[in-house]
Chain A
Amino acid sequence: MANIVVRSLSRRSFLASTAALIVAGSTPGFARTIVGRMPWEPGSATPPVQVRPGPWMFFTADEAALVEAAVDRLIPPDDRGPGGKDAGCAVYIDRQLAGPYGGAAGLYMRPPFMPGAATQGYQLPGSPAARYRAGLLALADHVRTAFAGKTFRELAPADQDKVLGGLETGAIVLKDVNGAEFFALLLQNTQEGFFADPVYGGNRDMAGWKLVGFPGSRYDYRDWVDQHDKAYPLPPVSIMGRSDWTVRE
């Protein structure tokens, strides 16, 4: 009996897989065959688009004021360089939210949405843009209620730190928004803005790179490979260059 079952199953699966093969074989292929040499077209670079200064593209004026104040507490200015605001972190976040990242263009965004492990990546229903909109609104409401009608920007730095700390630990509960998750998103994007290439709007004058000694978009270090215990002498360079590239009049 068991033998018969196994045989009939394998016969069925054999037929099914044969059918699948026939279907696959008769479907036109989308692969391209490249023979002889790799394809190349003149002028075919696909460069990143340089972020230009200008009006906010995603944030409202109130949202921008809140974000600028928050990123300046996450990375405060000190004698070693600018803080998050002057480094352009809010500009970076604004341009990202206005673009494909904000719309979750690269993510699978269909239900079911279930809590996943940290290793499973983004599992939330809202796009980053929607989460910022809701999170900033809820945060502004919370601050207005807790601090007698004041905005986040008007708070003393110590109070701002308290609010941000409360979000991070979950001590502050926002209406309809998970405060800890929103804080994690804001912190991550602020760090990105501080260290991403200046072409994306943050890391102004490569301040983040100068702070940690990162040389930027250079790609050949052969001359320094065996020079141990020596400081790397070259200044950082952005995808779009550095100030020394400008021809002085």
Chain B
Amino acid sequence: MKPVMRSALAIAAVLAAVSGDAVAQDGQSFDRIERGRTLAVLGDCGACHTAPGGKPFAGGLALETPFGKIVAPNITPDRQTGIGNFTNAEFLSALREGRSRGGKLLYPAMPYPAYTKMSDDDVLAIRAYLATLTPVSNAVVSNQLPFPFNIRMAMLGWNWLNFTPGRYQPNSQKSAEWNRGAYIVQGPAHCGTCHTPKTVLGGDKAETPLAGGMLQGWYAPNITNDSRTGIGTWSKDEVVQYLKTGTNSWTLASGPMADAISHSTSQMVDADIAAIATYLKDSGLGGATAAAVAIAASDNAMRAGAAIFKDSCAACHKDSGLGEAHLFPRLAGSALVQADDPTTLARVVLHGTRAVATSAMPTAPAMPAFDWRLSDAQIAAVLTFVRNSWGNAAAPVAAGAVTKQRQSLAAAP
């Protein structure tokens, strides 16, 4: 045994001497690789860098951005088509500054504006983990944007306007758990990439982080602690339950969040999920938005909506709007139902949706499509009704908004 160990140490020493890179040597330890894997889960790297049905991390998923199509590259250690030839410095720069090998500028579909918060050690732990993957030869043409967005140099200007590089700065007033949560949310988990409203240029609106954004025809809800439009009504345990299992007594995750939960949050270690919940419940973001005034039940849209709800919705969501925990989302008191942006609501009524299945909650109940049964005006009426019943209050939904959603779903389901 001993001679073997000694020779292994000797080889390691030689390797270290050759590369002259202490971190690379460290990269061979199991603990470090496992930490890198955990961080890759937190960052959900596989979500974008794996094509549907493709080899993990070999790239190829097309991201539909408001500006055009960007395809996530191959990040396996393949030397020709992957990142096998990257130095650690190049890897750090790509993740945190959006500058790839040779100074090539990345598009912020790669969430470097969030990853910039990450420490050297964490980024290189991810590198150490990725280096253990089987190299896959898969050449990906990343930039499939139309002119003028295909000019990478344009990102110089974008970065100047929208990108603030810099590591996470701990808040000494808060607990270690809170700081861990803030680091995960702002850094590796890049929650704001979807949940923070965007400027016309696609940059984060710095003044309203996590207050809800639009992506791929879904509304990513407000996840500040706002008691009416955010997650203020959820307890910390309910936040944990949602991230871990995909459902809590309020709702079930579907749409893009279903992917985030199945690939990322449900796979996180419990301490990290708890840290995220601690931070989100105490992020200091979002106050108490003044309640809107509910529309009177005598309103024409409300009356039609009530009839439609009774006949088409109440069997699952109940006359009380309380639904059934873990099966049918609760509508009464739901922040998403009362959100300013009804995109997700119109979408799930038109096309239906399916909840995420996790090992803890494998049922994955589905909502059926109603696009064949209800006209745009009827969908607008029933949404107006659920947004203004049982104590809910929100702006009415216009039939035109449903028409637009129906058309965009027909164009790209």
Residues of A whose CB lies within 8 Å of any CB of B are 36-38, 40, 42-45, 47, 218-220, 223, 234, 237, 239-242, 244-249
A43 to B373, CA, bound (A): 12
Given contacts A245-B304, A247-B378, A247-B381, contact A40 B372 (CB under 8 A): no
Alpha-carbon distance between A159 and B409 when the two chains are bound, in angstroms: 58
Whether the Cβ atoms of B300 and A241 lie closer than 8 Å is: no
Q: A220-B314, A248-B300 are in contact. Are A44 and B307 (CB under 8 A)?
A: no
Listed A/B pairs (26) with beta-carbon separation below 8 Å: A38-B364, A40-B354, A40-B364, A42-B351, A42-B352, A42-B369, A44-B352, A47-B372, A47-B373, A218-B311, A218-B315, A220-B314, A223-B319, A239-B373, A241-B308, A241-B311, A241-B373, A244-B303, A245-B308, A245-B311, A245-B374, A246-B304, A246-B378, A247-B304, A247-B380, A248-B300
With known contacts A244-B303, A247-B378, A43–B311 Cβ distance under 8 A: no
User: Do A37 and B409 have beta carbons less than 8 Å apart?
Assistant: no
In angstroms, Cα B241 to Cα A93, docked, is 55
Main secondary structure of the interface of A (DSSP, over half): loop
Please name the residue on chain B nearest to A48 by beta carbon: B372
Q: Which 6 A-B pairs have the closest CB atoms?
A: A220-B315, A244-B307, A47-B372, A43-B351, A247-B304, A42-B351
- Whether A43 touches B357, Cβ cut-off 8 Å, given contacts A246-B304, A247-B301, A248-B300, is no
* CB <8 Å contact, B369 and A45: yes
Closest chain A residue, CB of each to CB of B353: A42
Chain A residue, CB-CB nearest to B319: A223
Q: Would you call B371 an interface residue if the criterion is a C-beta within 8 Å of the partner chain's C-beta atoms?
A: yes
Kindly list chain A residues whose C-beta atoms are within 8 Å of the C-beta of B364: 37-38, 40
The reply to whether A248 and B304 form a contact with Cβ atoms under 8 Å apart is: yes
| Residues of chain B from 344 to 364 with CB closer than 8 A to chain A in the complex | 350-354, 357, 362, 364
A-chain residues with CB within 8 Å of residue B370 when the two chains form the complex = 45
The distance in angstroms between the C-alpha atoms of A42 and B216, with both chains bound, is 14
Given contacts A241-B378, A247-B304, 5 further A-B contacts (CB under 8 A): A36-B357, A37-B357, A43-B369, A45-B373, A245-B304
CA distance A237 to B357 in the complex (A): 34
Expressed in whole angstroms, the minimum distance between the Cβ of A40 and any Cβ of chain B is 5
Decide: B371 and A43 in contact? CB cutoff 8 A: yes
Is the Cβ of A45 less than 8 Å from the Cβ of B368? Answer: yes
Q: How many A-B residue pairs have CB under 8 A?
A: 74
In angstroms, Cα B103 to Cα A65, docked, is 82
Per a CB cutoff under 8 Å, which of B312, B315, B377, B409 touches A43? B409
Q: Which residues of B contact A241 (CB under 8 A)?
A: 308, 311-312, 373-374, 378
> CA separation between A13 and B69, bound complex, in Å?
63
Is the beta-carbon distance between A240 and B373 smaller than 8 angstroms?
yes
A235 CB to closest chain B CB (Å) equals: 9
Q: Give B255's nearest chain A residue, CB to CB.
A: A42
- The reply to whether the CB of B156 lies closer than 8 angstroms to some CB of chain A is no
B133: interface (CB < 8 Å): no
CA distance A246 to B352 in the complex (A): 22
A242 to chain B, nearest CB (A): 7
Distance of A237 Cα from B413 Cα, bound (Å) = 30
Determine how close the nearest CB of chain A comes to the CB of B24; give it in whole angstroms.
39
Quick check: is B101 within 8 A (CB to CB) of the other chain?
A: no
Chain B residues numbered 287-343 whose CB sits less than 8 Å from any CB in chain A: 300-301, 303-304, 307-308, 310-312, 314-316, 319
Chain B contacts of A244 at CB under 8 A? 303-304, 307
* Chain A residues closer than 8 Å to B316, beta-carbon distance: 220
Q: Is B153 on the interface with A (CB-CB < 8 A)?
A: no
Closest to B381 in A: A247
- Please name all residues of chain A whose beta carbon is closer than 8 Å to the beta carbon of B372 when the two chains form the complex: 45, 47
B246 to chain A, nearest CB (A): 12
Closest chain B residue to A236 by CB distance?
Answer: B311
Name the A residues within 8 Å of B319 (CB-CB): 223
- B54 → chain A, closest Cβ, in Å? 18
Q: How far is the CB of A220 from chain B (nearest CB, A)?
A: 3
Is there an interface contact between B307 and A245, defined as CB atoms closer than 8 Å? yes
- Contact A43/B300 with A37-B357, A237-B311 known, Cβ cut-off 8 Å: no
Residue of A40, A219, A244, A245 ringed by the most chain B CB atoms within 10 A: A245
On chain B, the residues within 8 Å of A223 by CB distance are 319
C-alpha gap A76/B319 in the complex (Å): 40
Cβ of A170 to closest chain B Cβ, rounded Å:
45
CB distance from A65 to the nearest CB of B (A): 34
Name which residue of chain B comes closest to A220, CB basis.
Answer: B315
List the B side residues contacting A219 at CB < 8 Å: 315
Cα distance, A65 to B371, chains bound together (Å)? 37
Min CB gap A66→B, angstroms:
35
Q: Measured between alpha carbons, how far is A241 from B382 in the docked complex, in Å?
A: 13
Rounded to whole angstroms, the CA-CA distance of A248 and B357 in the bound complex is 41
Task: Identify which of residues 384-413 in chain B touch chain A, using a CB-to-CB cut-off of 8 Å.
Answer: 409, 413
Q: Given the complex, which residues of A lie within 8 Å of B373, measured CB to CB? A: 45, 47, 239-241
